[in-house]
Amino acid sequence: MFYTIYDVLLFQMKKKGIEEKELVTILKKNGFKAKQLELLKSNCTTLLPNKLLDKALEIAGLTNLEMNLMLGNVPLEYEDSYLENISRIAKFLTVRELTKNNKNVDAEYRTSKGELYHADCLDVLPMIQSESVDMVFADPPFNLKKEYANGRNDDLSISQYIEWSKLWLDECIRILKPGGSLYIYNIPKWCIYYAEYLCSKICFQNWIAIDMKNSFPIKDKYTPSHYGLLYFTKGTKPKTFNKQRLPIQTCRHCGGEYKDYGGYKDKMNVLGVNIADVWYDIFPVRNGKNRLYNELSIKLLDRIISFSSNEGDLILDPFGGSGTTYAVAELLNRRWIGIELGDCDVIKKRMTSLEKDRNALEKINDEKNVLFTKKSIKLRKKNGFWLPKEEK
């Protein structure tokens, strides 16, 4: 399936042996200005004059309906006849043998709880038994032209990136146990495509917004300042959801709470507040060496692994990076399967000396399931703010 008219054009041209550079020349010759080419590439085609859209169809050698079908859309005016003729349409379609990778990849590294594969996840996922994994977390490359030193192109077209994502998403869904949880971390630009696709297969639970601390203003749009964390389950309800609570957010200078709880503080759960779907407390990792691997905070992995799995459960992360998921899984006594296409040395080194991660996890644990952190209790006492009886 295609996601942009531009990708359909590329596909149609390639069939005639015409490459992208030549296509751009053809489009320019047919009246497309630079700005209009940009609109076409980003699929904002409503603003293109009909004359140019007709030209694009002519170049592609397609009717408007054919173009829409290639984009996976059935225009409203055709919907009734499309549905009425669904059996006839299905009869016209033939099955293509999908080349599943039947490679047998050996684990490069093992611990008593997990195994790490130095390979492409599309080669390893098919080896994993169906319905055997309790939770999947995936933090794929964001297709932002980043150098991952793994030989993969991180500058795919929208259609190529989504089609590639659908391959590993399908595998992740297949290997999840009924009731298992799937978490996908990405930028909203890709989460919107993922969410739509996943909604047709498994059950949506949350779109969690993770506040981005280092966001940069971008001309002509609101500053992107959150990552999306999609949370889906295989079935309407998760089989595991070990609810945890967080302390009230307070000012680090005076200890006063940010949110006004009015006269209800006395009635609050002493274990803290429920976790909402906007997370402000996940900070980027300032580990100079591992920046290359886009290392995520262990607080993020601790939260979702603790919520969505129990000790002994099996966790899969198909995009290892620096191995954050595997380190947290190991420390929380979960079994794990890891895959990384690029350099695995940084993961192996991390797994053999988990002291730093263990200490960090202890600190994170101290700040869970309490109404106030130790630090804010001190500040609140000093500044005369309300505290529950047992802390006074």
Ligand X SMILES: C[S@@+](CC[C@H](N)C(=O)[O-])C[C@H]1O[C@@H](n2cnc3c(N)ncnc32)[C@H](O)[C@@H]1O
- Chain residues that interact with ligand X, rule: CB under 6 A: 120-122, 139, 141, 148, 150, 152, 293-296, 318-319, 321-322, 324, 339-342
**Shortest approach of ligand X to residue 297 CB, angstroms?**
8
Q: Could you give the maximum distance between any two Cα atoms of the chain, in Å?
A: 78
Spatial distance between the Cα atoms of 135 and 303, rounded to a whole number of angstroms: 13
In the bound state, the residue with its beta carbon closest to ligand X is 321
**Shortest approach of ligand X to residue 198 CB, angstroms?**
19
**Shortest approach of ligand X to residue 157 CB, angstroms?**
16
Burial class (CB in 10 A: 0-12, 13-18, 19+), 153: exposed
Among candidate residues 22, 25, 21, 31, the one with its CA nearest the CA of residue 55: 31
Residues 6+ apart with CB under 8 A from 168: 121, 122, 125, 138, 140, 318
Spatial distance between the Cα atoms of 41 and 48, rounded to a whole number of angstroms: 12
Cβ proximity to ligand X, 6 vs 293, nearer residue: 293
**Shortest approach of ligand X to residue 291 CB, angstroms?**
10
Spatial distance between the Cα atoms of 340 and 53, rounded to a whole number of angstroms: 42
For tokens 């996908």, name the residue: 184
Cβ proximity to ligand X, 293 vs 372, nearer residue: 293
Spatial distance between the Cα atoms of 378 and 391, rounded to a whole number of angstroms: 10
Cβ proximity to ligand X, 167 vs 387, nearer residue: 167
**Shortest approach of ligand X to residue 221 CB, angstroms?**
23
Cβ proximity to ligand X, 9 vs 298, nearer residue: 298
**Pairing of the two strands 133-138 and 314-317:** parallel
**Shortest approach of ligand X to residue 34 CB, angstroms?**
32
Cβ proximity to ligand X, 272 vs 338, nearer residue: 338
Cβ proximity to ligand X, 110 vs 378, nearer residue: 110
**Shortest approach of ligand X to residue 354 CB, angstroms?**
14
**Shortest approach of ligand X to residue 123 CB, angstroms?**
8
**Pairing of the two strands 226-233 and 176-186:** antiparallel
Spatial distance between the Cα atoms of 72 and 82, rounded to a whole number of angstroms: 13
* Cβ-contact 181, 138 below 8 angstroms: no
Spatial distance between the Cα atoms of 337 and 319, rounded to a whole number of angstroms: 10
**Shortest approach of ligand X to residue 2 CB, angstroms?**
21
Burial class (CB in 10 A: 0-12, 13-18, 19+), 192: middle
Cβ proximity to ligand X, 97 vs 147, nearer residue: 147
The one-character DSSP state at 322 is T
Cβ proximity to ligand X, 100 vs 381, nearer residue: 100
Cβ proximity to ligand X, 139 vs 171, nearer residue: 139
Cβ proximity to ligand X, 344 vs 370, nearer residue: 344
For residue 37, give both structure tokens.
């080419």
Spatial distance between the Cα atoms of 338 and 315, rounded to a whole number of angstroms: 9
Residues 6+ apart with CB under 8 A from 68: 74, 75
Spatial distance between the Cα atoms of 279 and 162, rounded to a whole number of angstroms: 26
Spatial distance between the Cα atoms of 131 and 172, rounded to a whole number of angstroms: 9
**Shortest approach of ligand X to residue 351 CB, angstroms?**
12
